[in-house]
A and B are shown apart, each in its own frame.
Chain A
Amino acid sequence: MSERQIQLEVLRYNPETDSEPRFQTYSVPCLNEWVVLDALNYVKDNLDTTLSYRWSCHMAVCGSCGMMVNGEPKLACKAFIHEYGDQIRVEPLANFPIERDLVTVVEDFIAKLASVKPYLIPKEDKPVSAGEFKQTPAQLLTFKQYTLCINCMLCYAACPQYGLVPEFIGPAAIALAHRYNQDSRDGGRDERQEVIASHEGVWECSFVGACSEVCPKHVDPAGALQQVKVASTIDWYKEHLMPWVKK
């Protein structure tokens, strides 16, 4: 197995001792099939036990290890060493405050996720004893893509608008709201629209599309945002120009 010496430049910041972040470079012998996370684990196990970062599944589904790799938001467990040169720079996810080293403060994201009521608000009440709701594969397909979000927050790190306007609810949360709005079992769209069709909601998006480009799960939050915008516009016309038409 071919091995390559990588200079891993890692942003370090300890709020107890550092006035500002700095970079520390580690020389790491990497196998070509490794991912950046493997290199970080090598550092942690062999070179420097004080380095802090989040990780768990190592298979791009738990969403823990989002970070900037050479300036781009990536999952460290899916950023392959062979796609980079001999120098790799690793920083915490952009647009989030740094807690410590590569660990960011994510409370804002969690609160935004919760704010869009990301749960089924059933159209009809049905006891469990009455069995499942029917949903055809075609109905499932209308929202399936938006269920695939792993909450890794890469889209927030890529979003220029979230960087400028921190109140913006942001791509993943809006995509999740859209996911439930599109679900044939759901009747909660009006409740969610109050949050996501607001100024801090979809209208803040400038449709750069960076969110969809960096999404490791191909959720396409930009697509969801546009669909919500269109739907909100129709709501507005119905409400203001055709008040006799009920939504």
Chain B
Amino acid sequence: MEIIKTDVAIVGAGGAGLRAAIALAEADPKLRIALVSKVYPMRSHTCAAEGGAAGVIKSDDSLDLHFNDTVGGGDWLCDQDAVEYFINEAPKELIQLEHWGCPWSREPNGSVAVRPFGGMKIKRTWFAADKSGFHILHTLFQTSLKYPSIQRFDEYYVTDLLVDDGRCQGFTALEIRSGEMRQFQAGAVIIAAGGAGRMFPFTTNGAIKTGDGMALAYRAGAPLKDMEFVQYHPTGLPNNGILLTEGCRGEGGILLNKHGRRYLQDYGMGPETPVGQPVLKTMELGPRDRLSQSFWHEQQKGNTVSTRWGDCVLLDMRHLGEKKINERLPFVRDLSISYLGMDPVKEPIPIRPVVHYCMGGIHTDIKAATPLPGLFAAGECACVSINGANRLGSNSLTELLVFGRRAALSAIDHLQSGLPASKDAVLAAQAQDSAGRIQALFDKNGGTESISGLRSEMMHTMEEGAGIYRTGEGLAATCEKLAELRQRYAGIEIHDKSRVYNTDLMQALELGSMLDCAEAAAVGARDRQESRGAHQRLDFTARDDQKFLKHSLAYYHPKEPARIEYLDVVITKSQPGVRDYSGAKK
């Protein structure tokens, strides 16, 4: 097996992976950097983020305000030292991106423009029309081409981490094009491989968001943190889950039920604000968890609109006018017309909540380090945690940048800590084991399970039991089902026996990743007997700071369900309080 020796190997080449690679290259041009991804960098799902990236830049804003919005938005499950680091670094990272050419939207005087976003008390979301993630990703990718020390391995699927002497020393990866295994030896590994939204049937996430990076770390012994917190974005197109950005509401779009009522006022986010004059942190600019939960209640009351794609509410943007929609929300208009046949300039758009983001992920400290020495993580696959129980829109694009860079700096510190030489024979043996597991999939005939069949059962049970509202009973059933599916996974068979670009094999490996992530999420949710942020239990309706002002840590077992431990949340200056999104007192 070919061995590729590098100083730092990065898994994933989206926003966080690219930012880490650039930070490494800038810190020391002599570092050998391997940027390894199962897709070409510009295909990474960062490209689909629309609304923008939060960072304090305007004179009416302050770091304290960003801190308070983030911590309250996260229902006090955020680690406050991490949030503090994040908000401090955020403006620098966004300016850095501007210096690299990111085409941010501008004010008439040429300074960067900001827009309102849900749960934010001040306008602080930098945006590039409604393709912010796309522009961030392409700016980073194009900038990365400046640095010859960043060696890309495009379309390589990482299969296992190599761990010896108590530290991560690389990984094995399958070159998708040839089907050949490679061994990557690295002083440090950074995982930046995105979320796992694809474990649900209805999601804004692209096909590649299968939790591979999370599963890699998890199987190697690093715990997954707060996996039970899954964000539903309130406004997805009902037929295919395509995201309509929160910017729609930031610019003044309103949500209506079938009676034409702005129903958010009935769920603690009123009183109603004038149409077309959005008021920050109230009504349509409430946080995503509250908005998605309100939809569920409207559905229970029969107030939703029946469509051929199921129950919906209406996102009305007509009053914004064609000019503003074209300038600020051109992609939203294009997507609505193309995929739903409806023009937001002319009619309200039916929408419903859709799985969007994993707040949970690989447990890291404030320096992006996992408990496994030599292993670092950043972006959606990681849980620092700045997002707590509910991420505020536009914090995650900034998070990619801040913690992508942070992971790179930590990796350098690790390299400089004087690492003992690797035992090549031990790593080679592990790599052979990993290759053997792939070979066994090829060799197996007469499988009893289909990949698409198991996948759809997994998605179904996640939606049934671990959706917007959950119960102990439903979660127990989902946990049981997932345990069964993990067992049955052993019965799958790869029908495609070709080595070259074998997507049958890819889908089998991705399903394995998702099943592990899904089980961690379901077990975490079952055991968290409270309601907080995006985790809402019908049988434990209140937040319980006594018992659960804690992060959950899920530890992997190949055959048994995840083992859950708890870790105290870091509170520095904001004691848990009431999340108030009513406009009444303001």
Contact = CB atoms under 8 A, between A and B. Distances in A.
B369 to A, nearest CB: 25
A58 B206 CA distance: 7
Contacts of B111: 132, 134
Contact of A135 (B106, B143, B502): B106
Interface of A: 1, 14-17, 33, 44-46, 49-64, 78, 80, 99-101, 103, 106, 110, 113-114, 117-120, 122, 126, 128-129, 131-137, 139-140, 143-144, 147-148, 150-151, 176, 180, 183, 185-186
Given A110-B40, A128-B96, 18 more contacts: A46-B452, A49-B494, A49-B496, A49-B504, A55-B207, A57-B207, A61-B331, A78-B338, A100-B500, A119-B142, A122-B99, A128-B99, A132-B104, A133-B98, A143-B103, A147-B135, A150-B42, A180-B101
A64 B41 CA distance: 11
Contact of B145 (A119, A143, A147): A119
B276 to A, nearest CB: 22
B452 A45 contact: yes
B92 interface: yes
Contact of A49 (B100, B107, B451): B451
Contacts of B109: 134, 136
B95 interface: yes
Nearest to B456: A45
B142 A15 contact: no
Nearest to A125: B99
Given A14-B498, A135-B106, A1 B42 contact: no
Contacts of A114: 145
Contacts of A78: 338
A148 B451 contact: no
B335 A53 contact: no
Interface stretch (B43-51, B80-88, B211-219, B549-557): B43-51
B225 interface: no
Contacts of A139: 110
Contact of B48 (A44, A59, A110, A117): A59
B134 A134 contact: no
Given A99-B500, A132-B98, A57 B110 contact: no
A56 B501 contact: no
Contacts of B107: 137
B42 A151 contact: yes
For the residues of A in contact with B, the DSSP-based class is loop
A44 B45 contact: no
B9 interface: no
A183 B101 contact: yes
B39 interface: yes
A126 B99 contact: yes
Contacts of B509: none
Nearest to B147: A119
Contact of B47 (A54, A61, A180): A61
The 8 closest A-B pairs by CB, nearest first: A134-B110, A120-B101, A56-B206, A45-B452, A50-B496, A100-B501, A57-B206, A136-B110
B239 interface: yes
A32 to B, nearest CB: 10
A122 B100 CA distance: 8
B240 interface: yes
A56 B203 CA distance: 12
A103 B208 contact: no
Contacts, number: 157
B499 interface: yes
B418 interface: no
B503 A185 contact: no
B48 A61 contact: yes
A119 B140 CA distance: 9
Given A56-B206, A136-B110, A150-B42, A128 B95 contact: yes
Contacts of B338: 60, 78, 80
Contacts of B142: 118-119, 176
B532 interface: no
A190 B502 CA distance: 44
Contacts of B40: 106, 110, 151
B108 interface: yes
Specify which of A16, A57, A122 lies most central, judged by the most chain B CB atoms within 10 Å of its CB: A57
Which of A117, A119, A143 has the largest count of B CB atoms less than 10 A from its CB?
Answer: A119
Contact of B498 (A57, A100, A147): A100
B346 interface: no
B42 A63 contact: yes
Contacts of A54: 39, 43
A132 B92 CA distance: 10
A186 B101 contact: yes
Best-buried of A61, A103, A114, A186 by chain B (most CB within 10 Å): A61
B308 interface: yes
A50 B495 CA distance: 7
B145 A136 contact: no
B208 A59 contact: no
Contacts of A51: 503
Nearest to A131: B95
A57 B47 contact: yes
B324 interface: no
7 contacts: A44-B452, A49-B451, A120-B101, A133-B99, A136-B106, A143-B103, A151-B40
Contacts of B208: 56
Nearest to A129: B92
Max chain A C-beta neighbours (<10 A), residue from B111, B142, B143: B142
B42 A62 contact: yes
Contacts of B206: 56-58, 62
A185 B143 CA distance: 14
